[in-house]
Amino acid sequence: AQSVTQPDIHITVSEGASLELRCNYSYGATPYLFWYVQSPGQGLQLLLKYFSGDTLVQGIKGFEAEFKRSQSSFNLRKPSVHWSDAAEYFCAVGNNNDMRFGAGTRLTVKP
């Protein structure tokens, strides 16, 4: 069965610092991988996705993620965090009809 693990429940970084949010998955085949961001009381916005090809994926808002098959990971990175990046981040794995979400990582940005 497929599953997603986000080891960090809450991360705090200073504005301007770099960010890495971890995501590990378990999946029987080549996965489709996604990162979504959710602001309080809002729906989810797609940041980026990986289906195949180049393992380094560029997304919106300056985010990128790298698929590492050997580590079953799909970590999200941003070189310089902005205060507006404070939100909940969800990693997801799956296909059209069966998408599984991680528990989420809440990002706090210190001034």
Closest contact distance (angstroms) between CB of 13 and other proteins is 20
CA distances in angstroms from 57 to 39, 69, 99, 108, listed in the order given = 22, 14, 19, 24
Give the footprint of other proteins on residues 37-56 (CB under 8 A): 41-46, 49, 51
Indicate whether 95 belongs to the interface with other proteins (CB under 8 A): yes
Indicate whether 27 belongs to the interface with other proteins (CB under 8 A): no
Closest contact distance (angstroms) between CB of 44 and other proteins is 4
Indicate whether 80 belongs to the interface with other proteins (CB under 8 A): no
The first and second tokens of residue 97, run together, are 């009809």
Cα–Cα distance measured from residue 108 to residue 97, given in angstroms and rounded to the nearest whole number? 32
Minimal CA–CA distance to 35: which of 80, 88, 111?
Answer: 88
Indicate whether 58 belongs to the interface with other proteins (CB under 8 A): no
Cα–Cα distance measured from residue 28 to residue 101, given in angstroms and rounded to the nearest whole number? 16
CA distances in angstroms from 41 to 65, 88, 108, listed in the order given = 25, 11, 16
Indicate whether 83 belongs to the interface with other proteins (CB under 8 A): no
Instruction: Say how many residues touch other proteins, by CB under 8 A.
Output: 21
Residue ranges binding other proteins (CB under 8 A): 32, 34, 36, 41-46, 49, 51, 90, 95-97, 99, 101-104, 106
